[in-house]
Amino acid sequence: MPDMVRLVFLALILQLFVQNAIAEQSKQPTSCRLNSYGTKLMMELYNILNNRETDMFQQGARIRRNYHTFEIQEEPRYLSIDEIANGEMSDVVYLMRPIDDGSGRNMSRLKLEFSSPQIDLQARVLSAKLKLFQNKEHYQVKDDFYVILVYTRQRFDGKDYFIRAGYTITAADYSGWIAVDISEVFKAWVRNKTQIYELHVSAHPYNFAWAIVDPRSIGIQFQHGHLQNEPFILSFIRTDSEEHLRFPRNVDTDPIELDVEPAGSMCEMVSLTVQFKELHMDTVVLAPQEYLTGVCTGGCNFPIKFPVEASAHSIVQSLMHIKYPDEFPSPRCAPRESGNMAVLFQYGANTLYKVFPRILVKSCACL
């Protein structure tokens, strides 16, 4: 019975999380950024990791996630091998987009402002990188190499200080995505919810570090509304629990009534296909569109016969129920084996990959 309660609880968490994602999504433009590079990257991550989990389950393997043995069928278009490896070790992948990029200001140091990351304090940040797109067709400078510096703004005693968060080196004639490791800054954001969630980007000639140029002059794209190549933060997080994602509490306090199947047949698992469209959740759930799970139904009347699986405790309990029906309940048909399910959400301006543990029913037994 505790397993059944756990599955119901996890299902409610999934429903509540998606409902809050729908509320956040309603505040955003209807485009939902589905064609942006960041969303395509997250979809590729979901497909790779989900296929990996499916293959492991079909083979009946109990394999610890290990990127050294990781194999993929096709060369990834958007992800690096390191990002795939981090995804293997994470149960939450959070892609954050800026809510303000300061691109309209005439500044050498450009600002990216983000919303507060909805991650619990106890979550472990494995990696976080700021990704910027550089287009060589837009560069207007003469030096060959540049240092991209990223700063964060912090306030102490009423004064603002700019602290370096990370850097990378790029060529002026390079086209593509560049990444700056900001893991320590992102960890501070998660630990301290009073942080200022800003990143400031500047560019400096490699041989003249004291000089500063407008990052846009070397092709770094910031303009708000260019969804295809907009900047974003890609973070990989390990929670080891289903309760480490924070979202507004909007829970119905009415008691929940669970229908119990009559014990007219023996315990068995029947298949159930859940479609997010039928639940009106398809506006925020990018993948999967549907999922297959099991439902435990039937009774566990004595004698419990093959092929129904039963624990030793359930057999003893069934005998005690026969002798003392008012004092000992009969065993229940409940999930014996459960599985994880990964879901890709559009959460407001951000995209979230989340693994919900033990939410799929894979087999039933008398417990």
User: Residue 12: what pLDDT?
Assistant: 53
* CA-wise closest residue to 24 among 345, 257, 256: 345
- Which residue has tokens 């050498």? 108
CA 101 to CA 98: how far, in whole Å?
Answer: 6
CA atoms within 13 A on the CB side of 203: 26
Confidence of residue 233 (pLDDT cuts 50, 70, 90): very high
User: Residue 245: what pLDDT?
Assistant: 46
Confidence of residue 85 (pLDDT cuts 50, 70, 90): very high
Q: Which is more confident, 75 or 357?
A: 357
* 193 falls within a domain: yes
Among 69-78, 106-115, 155-164, which range has the highest average pLDDT?
155-164
Residue 34 has pLDDT above 50, yes or no: yes
H or E element that contains 104: none
Domains of the chain: total = 1
Residue 246 has pLDDT above 60, yes or no: no
Query: Whole-model pTM?
Result: 0.77
Phi, psi of 102 (to 5 degrees): 60, 20
Distances (CA, A) of 146 to 134, 153, 171, 208, 213: 12, 22, 6, 9, 9
* 298 falls within a domain: no
User: Residue 14: what pLDDT?
Assistant: 60
Residue 340 has pLDDT above 60, yes or no: yes
* 219 falls within a domain: yes
DSSP string, 295-353: EEESB-PSSP-TTS-B-HHHHHHHHHHHH-TTTSPPP-EEEEEEEEEEEEEEETTEEEE
User: Residue 241: what pLDDT?
Assistant: 57
Residue 149 has pLDDT above 70, yes or no: yes
DSSP secondary structure code for residue 84 in this structure? H
* 213 falls within a domain: yes
User: Residue 69: what pLDDT?
Assistant: 42
Q: Residue 212: exposed, middle, or buried by beta-carbon count in 10 A (0-12, 13-18, 19+)?
A: middle
- CATH number of the structural domain spanning residue 190: 2.60.120.230
Residue 168 has pLDDT above 90, yes or no: yes
Q: Which is more confident, 9 or 88?
A: 88
Residue 65 has pLDDT above 50, yes or no: no
* 7 falls within a domain: no
CA 332 to CA 118: how far, in whole Å?
Answer: 38
Phi, psi of 287 (to 5 degrees): -160, 140
User: Residue 135: what pLDDT?
Assistant: 86
Categorise residue 310: left if φ over 0, alpha if ψ from -120 to 50, beta otherwise: beta
Q: Which domain holds residue 120?
A: 34-54+80-239
User: Residue 86: what pLDDT?
Assistant: 93
Mean pLDDT, to the nearest integer, of 121-150?
A: 85
* 112 falls within a domain: yes
User: Residue 306: what pLDDT?
Assistant: 67
User: Residue 160: what pLDDT?
Assistant: 82
User: Residue 66: what pLDDT?
Assistant: 40
Residue 60 has pLDDT above 90, yes or no: no
How far from the centroid of its chain's Cα atoms is residue 81's Cα?
18
Residue 119 has pLDDT above 50, yes or no: yes
* 118 falls within a domain: yes
Q: Which is more confident, 166 or 11?
A: 166
Q: Where in the chain does DSSP place strands (E)? A: 92-96, 110-113, 124-134, 145-156, 159-171, 176-181, 198-205, 232-238, 268-275, 285-287, 290-297, 333-347, 350-366
User: Residue 83: what pLDDT?
Assistant: 92
pLDDT tens digits, residue range 88-102?
Answer: 999 999 999 988 766
Q: Report the percentage of the chain scoring pLDDT > 70.
A: 71
Q: Which is more confident, 330 or 243?
A: 330
